[in-house]
C-alpha cells in the first residue's frame, strides 16, 4: 500500500471515525431519495411513483421534549424542468408542490445512531462515491455538510417506517398549536381538489 494511501486512511479513521465522538447537541439531517427506488426495495407501492421523498430528522425535538427527535417525510412530485435554451430566455422552473407529508417521533438515541451510521460509512470525506442515488445533508452544531451519496439501509428503513406509521402534520399541529408554524412552513399545503374528468 502506498504511503499516501496509508496516511489518508489513518486521517480518515481519526477525523471521521466514531472514536470518542460525543453526541451532537443539536442537528438536522436531510435524506432525499427517488420514491421508485424505495418502492422496488420495499416490494410495494407505498410511495407515489415518479416522485422524490425528503426525510428530515431534527434533534432535539422542536417542541423541546427531552430524549425525543422528530422525523418528517415529505413527498414531492418530480417536475420536468425547462431546458437550457428555455432557461436562457426567461422560462421559470416549475414550482415543486408536496403531495404528502408525515411526521413521527423517535428516540433521540436512534437519531444519534443515524449520525453514527454516516460516520461509519465515511460520509464526511470529500469524495463522490459510485452509485450515488441520494442526497444527504447534515447541519450539526452550526456546521453544514451535504453531498450526493449511496443509499443507506438505515435511512431507507426510516423513510418507510415514517410513511407507514407517521401522522399528518396538520393533525399534530392541531394538538399543539405552538408547533403549527414550524410544521406548516412550506412543507405541506392542502392541494385543491381534482376536477372530475370531462367525457
* Domain-located, residue 5: no
Residue 151 pLDDT > 60, yes or no?
yes
* Domain-located, residue 81: yes
Q: What is the pTM of this model?
A: 0.67
Q: Which pLDDT tens digit goes with each residue over 56-71?
A: 999 888 888 888 999 9
* Domain-located, residue 195: no
* Domain-located, residue 62: yes
* Domain-located, residue 133: yes
Q: Which residues contact 5 (CB under 8 A, 6 or more apart)?
A: none
| Structural contact between residues 152 and 132, judged by C-beta atoms closer than 8 angstroms | no
- Total of domains in the chain: 1
To the nearest 5 percent, what fractions of the chain are helix, strand and coil? 35, 25, 40
| Structural contact between residues 24 and 43, judged by C-beta atoms closer than 8 angstroms | no
d(CA 60, CA 176): 17
Domain residues for the domain of 177 are 22-183
Q: Which pLDDT tens digit goes with each residue over 180-190?
A: 444 444 444 44
pLDDT at 183: 42
* Domain-located, residue 193: no
pLDDT at 4: 57
Q: Which pLDDT tens digit goes with each residue over 100-126?
A: 888 999 999 999 999 999 999 999 888
| Structural contact between residues 73 and 55, judged by C-beta atoms closer than 8 angstroms | yes
Amino acid at each position: 500500500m502506498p504511503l499516501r494511501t496509508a496516511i489518508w486512511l489513518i486521517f480518515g479513521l481519526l477525523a471521521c471515525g466514531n472514536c470518542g465522538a460525543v453526541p451532537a447537541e443539536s442537528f438536522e439531517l436531510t435524506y432525499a431519495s427517488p420514491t421508485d427506488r424505495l418502492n422496488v426495495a420495499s416490494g410495494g407501492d407505498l410511495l407515489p411513483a415518479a416522485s422524490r421523498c425528503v426525510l428530515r430528522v431534527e434533534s432535539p425535538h422542536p417542541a423541546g421534549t427531552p430524549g425525543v427527535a422528530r422525523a418528517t417525510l415529505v413527498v414531492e412530485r418530480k417536475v420536468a424542468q425547462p431546458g437550457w435554451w428555455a432557461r436562457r430566455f426567461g422560462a421559470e422552473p416549475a414550482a415543486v408542490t408536496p403531495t404528502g407529508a408525515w411526521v413521527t417521533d423517535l428516540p433521540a438515541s436512534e437519531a444519534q445512531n443515524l449520525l453514527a451510521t454516516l460516520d461509519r460509512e465515511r460520509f464526511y470525506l470529500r469524495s463522490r462515491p459510485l452509485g450515488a442515488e441520494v442526497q444527504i445533508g447534515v447541519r450539526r452544531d452550526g456546521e453544514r455538510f451535504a453531498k450526493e451519496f449511496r443509499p443507506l439501509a438505515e435511512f431507507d428503513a426510516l423513510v418507510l417506517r415514517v410513511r407507514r406509521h407517521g401522522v399528518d402534520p396538520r393533525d399534530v399541529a392541531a394538538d399543539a398549536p405552538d408547533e403549527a408554524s414550524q410544521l406548516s412552513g412550506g412543507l405541506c399545503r392542502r392541494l385543491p381538489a381534482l376536477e372530475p374528468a370531462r367525457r
